[in-house]
Amino acid sequence: MTRVDVPFGRRAVGARGARAAGVDAAPRAAGAGTLHIDWTRCDGRGLCTELLPELLDRDEWGYPLARTGPGSDVAVPAELARAARQAVALCPRAALRLG
């Protein structure tokens, strides 16, 4: 889960908690890096494929697959950085990570 450092000694919270607390997650620089899918955590319900249809497709069991090729790492272009962060924050199994 994306974590946000909160100043003044408050505990770091996940992005969802940060939004609920009115703290916006710090935007990343241009390009969001790489989205890593941990299929061992994934339950294959496909929420991430609905949030990132440009990057992710589903296999026959519902597990996310990169549209760009095989493997569990997906390059995220800058214009999809926000959607990628949202997918990471909302994944119910913490199976997505941006790096």
- Site for ligand SF4, rule CB under 6 A: 37, 42-48, 64, 91-93, 95-96
Which H helix or E strand runs over 37?
A: strand 33-37
**Nearer Cβ to ligand SF4 (81/87):** 87
**Nearer Cβ to ligand SF4 (53/92):** 92
Question: Nearest approach, Cβ of 41 to ligand SF4 (angstroms)?
Answer: 7
**Nearer Cβ to ligand SF4 (31/62):** 62
Q: How far apart are CA 8 and CA 85, in angstroms?
A: 25
**Nearer Cβ to ligand SF4 (15/48):** 48
Question: Nearest approach, Cβ of 76 to ligand SF4 (angstroms)?
Answer: 14
Q: How far apart are CA 60 and CA 49, in angstroms?
A: 13
Q: 55 Cβ partners below 8 Å, 6+ apart?
A: 35, 66, 67, 68, 74, 76, 80, 84
Pair 33, 72: CB distance under 8 Å: no
Question: Nearest approach, Cβ of 17 to ligand SF4 (angstroms)?
Answer: 18
